[in-house]
Amino acid sequence: MDEKPTTPDLPPPEEGAAEPRLKGAARIEAYLKTLPDGPGVYRMLNEKGEVLYVGKASSLKKRVSSYAKTGGHSNRIAHMISETAEMLFVTTASEIEALLLESNLIKRLKPRYNVSYRDDKSFPNILLRTDHAFPQVLKHRGAKGRDGIYFGPFASAGAVNLTLNTLQRAFLLRSCSDSVFQGRTRPCLLYQIKRCSAPCVGRIDEEGYAALVDQAEDFLTGKSRGVQEELATEMHRASEAMDFERAAQVRDRIRSMSHVQLRQGINPATFSEADVFALFREGSQSCVQVFFFRAGQNWGNKPFFPRHGADMSNGEVLASFIGQFYDTRNSPSLLLLSEEVPERELIAEALCVRAGRKVEIAIPARGEKREIVEAALQNARAQLARNQAESASQRALLEGIAETFGLDAPPKRIEVYDNSHIQGTHAVGAMIVAGPEGFQKSEYRKFNIKSEEVAPGDDIGMMREVLTRRFGRLVRESTAEGAGDDKWTKWPDLVLIDGGPAQLQVAQAALADVGADDVFLVGVAKSIEREAGREHFLVPGRPAFRLDAKSPLLYYLQRLRDEAHRFAIGTHRKKRSKAIGASPLEEIAGVGANRKKALLAHFGSAKGVANASLGDLEAVDGVNTALAKRIYDFFHPD
């Protein structure tokens, strides 16, 4: 929900009511004179303007007055009150609107004293397109802007791939793009292995393909039993007609549907769609396991680890988590929880408003629903134990890095750099980021090598360009007015580069040139034998040294280097593949998608366009004399 208050933010107290230097309860009390006795959202800010806490209230005046009282607060709340130097208020038309706005602000601002969690990418869906005579089925993530029927969410790409694989085996739907579909002259490999009905070359007509699409839609909307019965009837009919090849094909489709249902494990009989939330907690650490059920099938589960204070109850944590979880998503008709949450009915009403239909929140006490919640709770318990063990191991590794390299404290942000190219072509630089929570893939960055001064294959020159661009911008953005905590203003505690003394020296010079010479640099040099475990580590001002070949710290540093290498190689391959598949027509100014299509249709290929005369080019629809001359000159520079 956008922050659009029904009335403007209320001003601070009148002059004289509170001095600007006031903080804590005294500053909060000064607002009470102007606060209404109605619903709204409030924000508590410190002296730097950072948001400490976001809350909602049915009565702003009563809720804020509770903070002005001395005593009776938990340590967390008392600290929050003592840091408060300013407050902002937004009045709303209803408490439901206040709840929706509160969830939106918490998720966007991530205040220190609220429950918050790292929300990764949007969940994937399956899209069955409706804008083509032979609909394509594909994985979709992000805004639902394409015409078609969406099924989801799925907990992971793996869950989507499993279901897509089933759809190919059971319903023989095409997965290829429209351009591939139009260009086929014979069936592809998917047809040969019985995963596509080959509508591209007429092996099935439009009516027959539409029947397959209807069956797939029934399967994805929970009518799998009816589809299986229909296919069973078709199999017996083919068998009685002595068409055993056809009967075997239908039998294989039935098996594919049964296979995915077995793989899904828990498939409920008492409800069709629901999201299950189970919270397991130890002290201030929690895991919320979310299971997705759609069309009577289990579409996967995902763990989350919300950050919260130790004094918050399980219900408060779960309620805040659910509000943020559905801030940009529509909920199913049923939510099953492992814990009672405060204001359960209000949360359900808010979800109804967002989804535009009835939403029920239940805490089952017995039966199948309770068994499913218990299964989710067991998963949450096991996942939290694994996460705690990994966190402890990660902390020990980072402490080992600090001790080994002489850092003042364990690094919170490690950046690793590597390059990739083939004989200097399609050169890219790559940066990966790691820290206490492992690899932070949303922070990864790629750098296309642009400098004409860098000779093809010059790894040292590439490293110089990458570091100059990264830290040059970091210095500029960090010192700019209004700089925030974005991707370009995060300083690393440690930088690892793949290379020996020459690379380290160039890296030091590059950082000094842009004013970032205080960054802690370490070079990772391969041994002469280039064997894993015999790497030399280079720290400026110290002799090169090795780590014990069986040291966990060495394995961790190797993982960092290998991850940077993997990301660099993958980025290079994507760039190379794009260049290989690109048409030279795309490089000509004035040749857009429509003119490119017209040229290729007229001449058959880019090579035909290159060999065309000036007069032939002018004969193409949409190509005037000036553009024809530009195209001709592009292919005939001499």
CATH code of 356's domain: 3.30.420.340
Tell me which of 64, 84, 109 is where a domain ends: 109
Higher-pLDDT residue of 391 and 36 is 36
* pLDDT for 166: 75
The reported pTM is 0.67
Tens of pLDDT, residue by residue over 484-496, are 455 667 899 999 9
Same domain for 160 and 256, yes or no, is yes
**Sorting pLDDT into bands at 50, 70 and 90, what band is 549?**
confident
Q: What percent of the chain has pLDDT above 70?
A: 86
Of 11-15, 358-362, 487-491, give the lowest mean pLDDT range.
11-15
pLDDT digits (tens, 9 = 90+) for 246-281: 777 777 777 666 655 544 455 677 888 899 999 999
Q: Residue 9 pLDDT more than 50?
A: no
Phi–psi pair at 289, nearest 5 degrees: -95, 125
Answer with the residue of higher pLDDT: 456 or 43.
43
463 CB-side CA count, 13 A: 22
Does 99 share its domain with 190? no
Other Cβ atoms less than 10 A from the Cβ of 374: the count is 13
Distance, CA of 41 to CA of 59 (rounded, Å): 10
Q: Is the residue at 95 inside a domain?
A: yes
Q: Please report whether residue 408 resides in a domain.
A: no
Per residue in 277-334, pLDDT tens?
Answer: 999 998 888 999 999 988 778 888 889 999 898 889 999 999 999 999 998 888 899 9
Question: In terms of residues, how long is the chain?
Answer: 638
The whole-angstrom separation of Cα 176 and Cα 194 is: 15
Note whether residue 2 is domain-resident.
Answer: no
Residue 157 and residue 104 share a domain: no
On whether the CB atoms of residues 493 and 399 are closer than 8 A, the answer is no
Q: Give domain status of residue 346, yes or no.
A: yes
pLDDT exceeds cutoff 80 at 335: yes
What is the distance between the alpha carbons of residues 150 and 295, in angstroms, rounded to a whole number? 13
Host domain of residue 471: 414-480+487-578
For residue 2, name the pLDDT band (cuts at 50, 70, 90): very low
Return the pLDDT at 19: 47
Residue 421 sits in the same domain as residue 303: no
Query: What totals of helices (H) and strands (E) does the chain contain, helices first?
Result: 20, 18
Cβ contacts of residue 625 below 8 Å, gap of 6+?
Answer: 618
Q: Which of 83, 109, 135 is the last residue of a domain?
A: 109
> By CB neighbour count within 10 A (0-12 exposed, 13-18 middle, 19+ buried), where does 28 fall?
buried
Residue 13: pLDDT over 90: no
CA distance 252 to 256: 6
Q: Is residue 137 part of a domain?
A: yes
Kindly report whether the peptide bond that precedes residue 20 is cis, defined as omega within 30 degrees of 0: no
- Check whether residue 225 and residue 199 sit in a common domain: yes
Task: Tell me the mean pLDDT in the region 194-203.
Answer: 90
Number of domains in the chain: 5
Answer yes or no: are the C-beta atoms of 386 and 361 closer than 8 Å: no
pLDDT at 530: 53
Q: Is residue 407 part of a domain?
A: no
* 61-65, 193-197, 526-530, 607-611, range with greatest mean pLDDT: 61-65
Is the per-residue pLDDT at 227 higher than 60? yes
pLDDT of residue 18: 43
